[in-house]
Amino acid sequence: MTPKVAIVTDSLACLTKELVEQYEIRIVPLSFYFGDKVYKDWVDITPSEAYELFLKDPESWYSSAPSPMEFLEAYRQVSNRTKNILCVTISSKLSTTYDVAQVAKGQAKSELPQTSIEVLDSQTVTAAEGFVALAAARVAAEGQDLVEVVKVAKEMRDRATFIMLLDTIRYVYRTGRIPKVAARVGSMLKIRPILTSSSGLVRFAGAVRNKEHGINRMLQMIK
């Protein structure tokens, strides 16, 4: 059975290659910049390799959202097998990706007039965003229509979150949440932050002094 709805999402959803292939999810990669080179997430470089570059020179490393043309190309490709598309993006409060996907949707109106496109702000990031896209892909695979697929995605959005333990607080200043000097002092004290998502933003949920304590704290939060 050919699904009535195709799912598009960005690479920050952290979906595995197996899931992407199984549910025919179209991934639009974000870009990493280091020095004078540009890398496409999961195309030219893996997240682990990108992090290694970041550690070499944090000040020379940054990322950016895909372009409207990249989303438009994704819409074109999936429109060849279905006329209904749901695009799930990283939180609009963390990236311009949602706005870019909306711009591409507007551009697609004249080029793909028979195609219905919905863009959904996941209000989260990383695998929590992936859960939203995956929930949508699973019901799409069952043959549900666009209205039902969007409904299920929104239900998962309201339930999904993430809890993340960082090895160091040293680079958290890059988010704008704390001053650079505070991040350096915290790093010297070996403080490890625990992060989660709330209202579309990444927020501090606590701090620990070692990995074991961090994992135990995360398990308590999950329970």
CB atoms within 10 A of CB 194: 20
Q: Are residues 96 and 193 in the same domain?
A: no
Residues 173 and 147 in one domain: no
Residues 155 and 118 in one domain: yes
For residue 95, tell me if it sits in a domain: yes
Domain boundary among the residues 159, 181, 203 is at: 159
Q: What is the mean pLDDT of the chain?
A: 91
Point out the domain boundary residue: 159, 177, 192.
159
Q: Are residues 85 and 128 in the same domain?
A: yes
| 19 and 92 co-located in one domain | yes
| pLDDT digit string, tens, across residues 67-95 | 999 999 999 999 999 999 999 999 999 99
Distance separating alpha carbons of residues 110 and 36, to the nearest angstrom: 36
Locate 131 and state its tokens. Answer: 């859960």
CB of 33 closer than 8 Å to CB of 63: yes
Contacts of 85 (CB under 8 A, 6+ apart): 5, 6, 7, 8, 75, 78, 79, 115, 116, 117, 118
Asked if residue 110 and residue 23 are part of one domain, the reply reads yes
125 closest CA partner among 12, 38, 28: 12
Give Cα separations from 68 to 38, 61, 102, 122, 204 (angstroms): 17, 22, 8, 18, 32
Residue 47 placed within a domain? no
Residue 210 domain-assigned (yes or no): yes
Query: Is there a single domain that holds both residue 154 and residue 207?
Result: no
- Residues in the chain with pLDDT < 50? none
Residue 70 shares a structural domain with residue 149: yes
Domain with 74 in it: 6-30+65-159
Q: Are residues 11 and 104 in the same domain?
A: yes
* Same domain membership, residue 176 and residue 138: no
**pLDDT for the residue 139:** 98
| Chain segment 14-48, per-residue pLDDT in tens | 999 999 999 999 999 999 999 889 999 999 999 89
Find residue 10's DSSP bridge partners.
28
Task: Say if CB 200 and CB 123 are below 8 A apart.
Answer: yes
What pLDDT does residue 198 have?
86
CATH number, domain at 11?
Answer: 3.40.50.10440
Same domain, 152 and 169: no
